[in-house]
Amino acid sequence: MSIASTVSPIAAAAGGSFLLESRAPAEVFTPEDLTGEQRQIAATAARFAREEILPALDEVEHKKPGVLENLMRKAGELGFTAIDIPEEYGGMGMDKTTSALVTDHLSVLASFSTTYGAHVGIATLPLVWYGTEDQKRRYLPKLASSEWIGAYALSEASSGSDAMNIRTRATLSPDGAHYILNGEKQWISNGGIAGLYTVFARITGPEPGPGKFSAFLIERGTPGMTIGAEEHKLGIRGSSTCPLAFQDCKVPAANLLGEAGKGHHIAFNVLNWGRFKLGVACVGSARQALGYMIRYANERHAFGRSIAEFGLIQRKISTCAALLYAAESMIYRTSGMIDACGGQAPDEMASKGAGKPETDGQRGAIPGWLDEYAVECSILKIYGSEMMNVVADELVAVMAGYGYVEEYPAERCYRDARINRIFEGTNEINRLIVTGWLMKRAQRGQLPLQAAIRKVMDAVMEPPSYDAAGGADGPLAREAGALAAMKQISLFAAGVAAQRFAAGLEDQQEVMADLADIVAEVYALESALLRAQKMAAARRAVAPAAAAMTGLLADSGMALAEQAARRVLAACAEGDMLRTQLAILRRLARFTPANTVALSRKVAQQCAHAERYPL
Ligand SMILES: Cc1cc2nc3c(=O)[nH]c(=O)nc-3n(C[C@H](O)[C@H](O)[C@H](O)COP(=O)(O)OP(=O)(O)OC[C@H]3O[C@@H](n4cnc5c(N)ncnc54)[C@H](O)[C@@H]3O)c2cc1C
């Protein structure tokens, strides 16, 4: 079944263009635009989470043999492990919004969502995108039904972030029938329960050099492959994480995935989607954790009142709700753009030669959106995982004593949240990717960033064309002004940094990370604002809550952007030059803060009334 045709006709935009262009609310996809069929699928996933995953929570967390595999099999029976696999290989070939929805609503127990996420994402999609016809026919139906669980094995004991530096080696046997693998892999999700492993190794031959970075499909039980003991982890304790060892492991030559020497395309392209999905899983987990927080705050009494009536508890609830609202808005905006591309890069970029589907010989096309939306995917990974950490931390704070003991969900939630900032590329690495990707696109002429920076630099002495200082009228006008200001600040800071460091900017990691943070805040605020405006136009009952959360995000976003930009400027200049630049920044950042106390109380009261995240 394919429901791609039922997705709203939302405009596909070039990746990263949110920084340079304005969008109308109607142009972005929001969760309110979901079709009836998508809502039904989301409800089925939520029911599965409630009726199957949560009742098995203790058994999963204590690794009772077979329980996790059984849950995966049941998820397979409902089609949840077949969503991204084409119909001809036993899948459902659904759109990416539906794929995100299922992950979102299944994410109520991080041990399960890690298992599910690794299986349907980084373990299965390399085969969908790069497999030969024979490989797809042999393995995809088994993965679609989850008869076999998949694993993705890139990291090694001595190379995690530095993935190109892997030491696992493959040599072709003299008769050309097999590759012989030697080496080891570390921290492999689903390692102990998988039936099929996508393993990365360098093919070496008689010629000197590091060898060709390549991917292999290896079945469980292949002689020479050993699965090590389960790791004892801080969180996601119910998930399987194992090392793998290969000693003269004979892999049929027909199981080379993609072309020899192009394994890094597979490894990194699939990680873009993995980052997107990790952001989605964080949204699902945070929605559930916020629900616990709100209900607990309503029920717990201190000093003769429900603690939900205390301003400081309200601030915690509203902060978490606003961050979740921003992450959720970005997620579905991005999935809407991917679906609007029909799985390929946006037309205008493709016509310029950018983001064109990369072809791998006769082995099919890799969707152009994988690279096109790399910056949005990294932002979602960073923002989603850090949002989830705030929510988990505040859940412990609100539950206090009960938050700290194992019997209640806060303790597990707190431990489980931490891994999201580590895997799928650490948040440090993803911050470098955001700024590095934008710079690369600009240098290649694929994103008119340099022209936009020049325009801002030329106009710095003129009054800003937006009004974030409180003069503008109308609902959400202040927030729209803040967004315009943040875009100008990001371009100004990027311009100063580019002038100062030129090609050496890559070595200024602190500056790169500050720029990435401002860019992420821009995407978050714009996605939240456009959704709030869309809701207001449709006169939805929850529109005031969305507007209030957008108000909170505008204040926190402006504060973060100004502070990060100040650090960037101070790293680039000194003396009179710095003073002039800081004066420009102050003009760009003229902004009247809202009464965030009132906004926070309003959001928290709506949460308390709804007894959950109110949207
Ligand atoms: C529970 C779990 C499940 C996992 N699942 C999988 C899996 O299924 N498949 C798989 O292949 N891997 C998996 N991993 C591995 C994971 O992807 C790596 O741990 C991660 O990429 C970081 O690598 P590392 O641990 O070697 O840290 P390192 O790369 O050694 O990094 C250490 C620190 O240095 C920082 N750092 C590194 N390089 C730079 C740089 N250039 N600039 C600035 N800072 C830098 C990092 O951000 C980090 O803070 C998993 C890990 C865990 C813990």
Cα separation of 268 and 503, whole Å?
Answer: 23
159 and 134, same domain (yes or no):
no
524 lines ligand 1 (CB under 6 A): no
Closest CA relative to residue 217, chosen from 173, 256, 244 = 256
Q: What is the pLDDT of residues 190-208, one digit of tens each?
A: 999 999 999 999 999 888 7
What's the gap in Å between 370 CA and the centre of ligand 1?
21
133 and 179, same domain (yes or no):
no
Is 480 within the bounds of a domain?
A: yes
CATH of the domain at 288: 1.20.140.10
Cα separation of 298 and 308, whole Å?
Answer: 5
CB neighbour list of residue 480: distance below 8 Å, 6 or more residues apart: 466, 472, 529
Contact at 8 Å (CB) between 563 and 282?
no
260 lines ligand 1 (CB under 6 A): no
Out of 112, 386, 422, give the residue to mutate to test ligand 1, the one with the largest number of ligand atoms within 8 Å of its CB.
422
Contact at 8 Å (CB) between 486 and 528?
no
Q: Is 298 exposed, middle or buried (0-12, 13-18, 19+ CB in 10 A)?
A: middle
Residue nearest to atom 40 of ligand 1 (CA): 429
Is 50 within the bounds of a domain?
A: yes
Confidence of residue 1 (pLDDT cuts 50, 70, 90): very low
Is 96 within the bounds of a domain?
A: yes
Q: What is the pLDDT of residues 98-121, one digit of tens each?
A: 999 999 999 999 999 999 999 999
302 and 325, same domain (yes or no):
yes
Percent of the chain with pLDDT over 70: 93
pLDDT exceeds cutoff 50 at 279: yes
Confidence of residue 363 (pLDDT cuts 50, 70, 90): very low
What's the gap in Å between 284 CA and the centre of ligand 1?
23
Confidence of residue 24 (pLDDT cuts 50, 70, 90): very high
Count Cα neighbours of 332 within 13 Å in the Cβ-side half-sphere.
Answer: 26
**Ligand 1 atom closest to residue 239's alpha carbon, by position in its atom list:** 1
Q: What is the pLDDT of residue 355?
A: 38
411 and 314, same domain (yes or no):
yes
Q: What is the pLDDT of residue 521?
A: 98
433 lines ligand 1 (CB under 6 A): no
DSSP 426: -
Is 343 within the bounds of a domain?
A: yes
580 lines ligand 1 (CB under 6 A): no
CATH of the domain at 201: 2.40.110.10
84 and 168, same domain (yes or no):
no
What's the gap in Å between 419 CA and the centre of ligand 1?
10
Range of lowest pLDDT (206-210, 254-258, 342-346, 359-363): 359-363
Which residues constitute the domain of residue 81?
4-149
Closest CA relative to residue 218, chosen from 119, 137, 151, 126 = 151
400 and 515, same domain (yes or no):
no
pLDDT exceeds cutoff 70 at 468: no
**Ligand 1 atom closest to residue 426's alpha carbon, by position in its atom list:** 47
174 and 130, same domain (yes or no):
no
Is 440 within the bounds of a domain?
A: no
Residue nearest to atom 38 of ligand 1 (CA): 161
Q: What is the count of structural domains for the chain?
A: 4
Which value, in Å, is the radius of gyration of the alpha carbons in the chain? 24
Beta bridge partners of 212: 203
Contact at 8 Å (CB) between 491 and 456?
yes
605 lines ligand 1 (CB under 6 A): no
Contact at 8 Å (CB) between 86 and 93?
yes
The string of DSSP letters for 552-568 reads HHHHHHHHHHHHHHHHH
160 lines ligand 1 (CB under 6 A): yes
Residue nearest to atom 17 of ligand 1 (CA): 423
75 and 131, same domain (yes or no):
yes
241 lines ligand 1 (CB under 6 A): yes
Is 361 within the bounds of a domain?
A: no
HEC readout, 426-440 = CHHHHHHHHHHHHHH
Out of 167, 189, 232, 423, give the residue to mutate to test ligand 1, the one with the largest number of ligand atoms within 8 Å of its CB.
423
Is 443 within the bounds of a domain?
A: no
pLDDT exceeds cutoff 50 at 359: no
376 and 334, same domain (yes or no):
yes
Cα separation of 215 and 153, whole Å?
Answer: 9
239 and 299, same domain (yes or no):
no
CATH of the domain at 126: 1.10.540.10
**What is the bridge-based pairing of β-strands 169-172 and 196-203?**
parallel
Closest CA relative to residue 350, chosen from 329, 371, 381 = 371
Q: Is 474 exposed, middle or buried (0-12, 13-18, 19+ CB in 10 A)?
A: exposed
7 lines ligand 1 (CB under 6 A): no
What's the gap in Å between 77 CA and the centre of ligand 1?
33
Cα separation of 73 and 138, whole Å?
Answer: 19
452 and 579, same domain (yes or no):
yes
293: its two tokens: 């927080």
146 lines ligand 1 (CB under 6 A): no
Closest CA relative to residue 391, chosen from 308, 278, 284, 309 = 284
What's the gap in Å between 436 CA and the centre of ligand 1?
19
Contact at 8 Å (CB) between 389 and 415?
no
Catalytic annotation, pick one of 27, 376, 424, 479: 424
Query: What is the helix (H) or strand (E) element at residue 208, kind and residue range?
Result: none
| pTM (two decimals) | 0.95
Mean pLDDT of 248-259: 97
Chosen domain end from 84, 115, 149 = 149
The letter for the amino acid at 415 is: R
Chosen domain end from 149, 172, 199 = 149
**Ligand 1 atom closest to residue 425's alpha carbon, by position in its atom list:** 21
pLDDT exceeds cutoff 50 at 364: no
288 and 391, same domain (yes or no):
yes
pLDDT exceeds cutoff 90 at 95: yes
What's the gap in Å between 159 CA and the centre of ligand 1?
8
405: its two tokens: 């003991």
Out of 187, 197, 433, 514, give the residue to mutate to test ligand 1, the one with the largest number of ligand atoms within 8 Å of its CB.
187
Mean pLDDT of 7-20: 80
Percent of the chain with pLDDT over 90: 85
Concerning whether 424 is annotated as a catalytic residue, the answer is: yes
Cα separation of 501 and 115, whole Å?
Answer: 43
Chosen domain end from 428, 457, 474 = 428
CA–CA distance from 421 to each of 266, 469, 510 (Å)? 22, 35, 18
Confidence of residue 371 (pLDDT cuts 50, 70, 90): confident
Cα separation of 246 and 153, whole Å?
Answer: 12
Is 612 within the bounds of a domain?
A: no
